[in-house]
Amino acid sequence: MPELPEAETIARDLHPRLQEAKVTAVDVHHEDVLGRPGTGFGDALPGRVVAGVGRRGKNVVIAFQDEGRLLVNLGMTGRLVLSDAPGAADCRHVAVRLLLQDGRSLLYDDVRRFGLLELFEPEEWPARDAELGLEPLADDFTADALRDMTRRSRTPIRNFLLDQSKVAGVGNIYALEALFRAGIRPTRRANRVTRAEATSLRNGIRDVLEEAIANRGTTFSDYRDAAGERGGFEPLLQVYGREGRPCTRCGTAIKRKVLTNRSAFYCPSCQR
Ligand SMILES: [Zn+2]
């Protein structure tokens, strides 16, 4: 499932190639991926010119020169593919197609269609932006900022990290990897994380995200970057998906526990 590193990889790929591209037409094949404005989406985009492509949390954000923004949440299987033609051979589940003035097209392809496309007018964006928490790679994501939030929460720390209104962009894979690096068991209550552990956790989150970005993300099932390539971080995972295999640090078998309907992986010796 795409998290921050996968969205960042796609945004970095698309940014130089989409700048100043003008949308001339939109084909909506599956309306269920449209969050807003829903009907009318196809009429709201033509004429807009791309200023740049960035990221907020797990979402790819296409910013237009008029300061409107198209937020793309890739859900489980969403892909953004820029093609030199109106279509692309390997995109067989195109939900939305943006035709560009130069003959290229930006395809939103999504097999399972849990993804969401939302268009925000300039005045609507700040409210949406404010719903998302701290960016873990930004300067204001400090150990103190993290501790200020964890000490007020009694939820398991893994669940805390998945709350996009607290820290934006971290999902199950990278939350579990960061907790392993910090030596904190996923089931520990957030308010039981010490000051020193909050520092380790903050650093662990940043390190794992930066390493994943450097490896173009983790590929599970359907994730592809904007060039259609798989991510390279999967072999570097230390706990996620490694139940029963030896801990890379101490050799103890990695455990799996279902926590709020989602698997948590951890080393019972290294993580307390
Ligand atoms: Zn261990």
Q: Distance, CA 46 to ligand 1 centroid (Å)?
A: 54
Read off the tokens for 41: 């989406």
Q: Ligand 1 centre and the CA of 220: distance in Å?
A: 24
Select the CATH number that applies to the domain covering 143-266 from these four: 1.10.260.40, 1.10.1020.10, 1.10.8.10, 1.10.8.50: 1.10.8.50
State the DSSP code for 156.
B
| Domain positions in the chain | 4-131, 143-266
Domain 4-131 listed as CATH 3.90.1570.10:
no
Known active-site residue 16: no
- pLDDT tens for each residue of the chain, 272 residues long: 788 999 999 999 999 999 999 999 999 999 999 998 888 899 999 999 999 999 999 999 999 999 999 999 999 899 999 999 888 878 899 999 999 999 999 999 999 999 999 999 999 999 999 999 999 999 999 999 999 999 999 999 999 999 999 999 999 999 999 999 999 999 999 999 999 999 999 999 999 999 999 988 876 555 566 666 677 778 889 999 999 999 999 999 999 999 999 999 999 999 99
Tokens of 34: 């449209």
203 Cα: distance to centroid of ligand 1 (angstroms): 19
Can 123 be counted among the known catalytic residues? no
Tell me the C-alpha distance between 131 and 57, whole Å.
Answer: 11
Among candidate residues 3, 6, 177, 197, the one labeled active-site is: 3
Catalytic residue (one of 86, 234, 262, 268): 262
Active site residue 2: yes
Catalytic residue among 48, 58, 147, 202: 58
Q: Calculate how far, in angstroms, residue 178's C-alpha sits from the geometric centre of ligand 1.
A: 14
pTM across the whole model: 0.90
For 142, residues 6+ apart whose C-beta sits below 8 A from its C-beta are 202
Cα 48 to Cα 71: distance, rounded to the nearest angstrom: 15
Is 262 an annotated catalytic residue? yes
User: From ligand 1's centre to the CA of 248, what distance in Å?
Assistant: 7
Task: Take residue 269 and report the two structure tokens written for it.
Answer: 């010796």
4 C-alpha vs ligand 1 centroid, how far in Å? 26
